Amino acid sequence: MIINKQGEILSFLAKGNTDYLQSSIYNFKETLTEGIYQVSKKIDIKITDIDYSFLGLPSYGEQKKYEPQIEEIISEILGPGKYSLGNDVEAGWAGSLGCKPGIHLVAGTGSIGFGIDPVGNKARAGGWGNLFGDEGSAYWLGREALSIFSKQADGRLEKTDVYRIIKNKTGLEEDIDLISYVIEKLKMKRNKIAQFAMELHKAAREGDTHALNAFSDAACELNMIIEAIIEKLDFPPGLNISVSYSGGVFKAGNYILKPLKRIINERAVLVKPLLKPVTGAALYALSLYTDETDFNSVIEKLKDEENLLKSNDQEL
């Protein structure tokens, strides 16, 4: 996304995955180069005309050995000194809280939290990956849905809506076929397994106790991320700590938000995101580039711009 200093969205474009750990450095370079070229071409400018960029990259900061290579690639594309890099959770924070102190929680395919205090100290928690982390994420909930199904298929648990909904989705002839379904059809890919979180949401809407408990457990896991970040940072006593959120799990609405509100730190206040993460990345770039802008006005303008795009069926 490209914006100007007044908060007008000049150009935006959705491209493929830039997670170099999930694909490859080559794919990362190709996708990023083509994406930045195309988003610039849409408004008839050159890449060199972009004053400053912030790139929130999936997996960034998690394997240090790749960072010099990533920096070199982005420097070639945008030019030295014309960008900052961070994890994509930072773009979520910038958008949801308008680059103000607080905590941002991501619960999408994976889960991670990022916070910044009034002094400017930064901290993260979660984001350890699906093998031994990503608690409270869509993958975690999807795996839990499959676990509930297997127990109900066995008779270890009484059959409920979770069993019926998953049986209908998968079209299994025999319950045991779920094993080959996950291995052969889903290829055990975490984004495919994460989609079963939606089936758990359907069951929760039907009042299924197991589904409701799964969302409550997810809220507990996400709250642990919030607590860890609060402990790492220096929020003054008596100051309310804004906590915002993004990611597909929160599309479950009150099924995840209500249990989270019940247990969240008494100093923390859950707030709705101001802007989308992609818009947040552009806002963060502007804040790093200049302090000679009325950022409250810019945020309001960006909110209007997002709503305008949505009304024109151009979802960010």
pLDDT tens for 118-158 read 999 999 999 998 888 899 999 999 999 999 999 999 999 99
pTM of the model: 0.89
pLDDT, position 45:
95
Q: Which domain CATH number covers 150?
A: 3.30.420.40
Residue 89 located in a structural domain: yes
Structure-token pair, residue 75: 């420097």
Residue 34 located in a structural domain: yes
269 φ, ψ (degrees, to nearest 5): -125, 120
Q: How many domains does the chain have?
A: 2
Structure-token pair, residue 198: 């939606």
Among 200, 215, 230, which residue terminates a domain? 215
Residue 265 located in a structural domain: no
CA distance 158 to 160: 6
| Together in a domain, 31 and 82 | yes
Among 215, 234, 258, which residue terminates a domain? 215
pLDDT tens-digit series, residues 205-226: 999 999 999 999 999 999 999 9
pLDDT tens-digit series, residues 50-104: 999 999 988 887 788 888 988 999 999 999 999 999 999 999 999 999 999 999 9
| Together in a domain, 36 and 86 | yes
CA distance 218 to 80: 42
CA distance 43 to 312: 19
Number of Cβ within 10 Å of residue 227's Cβ equals 17
Boundaries of domain holding 285: 2-98+274-311
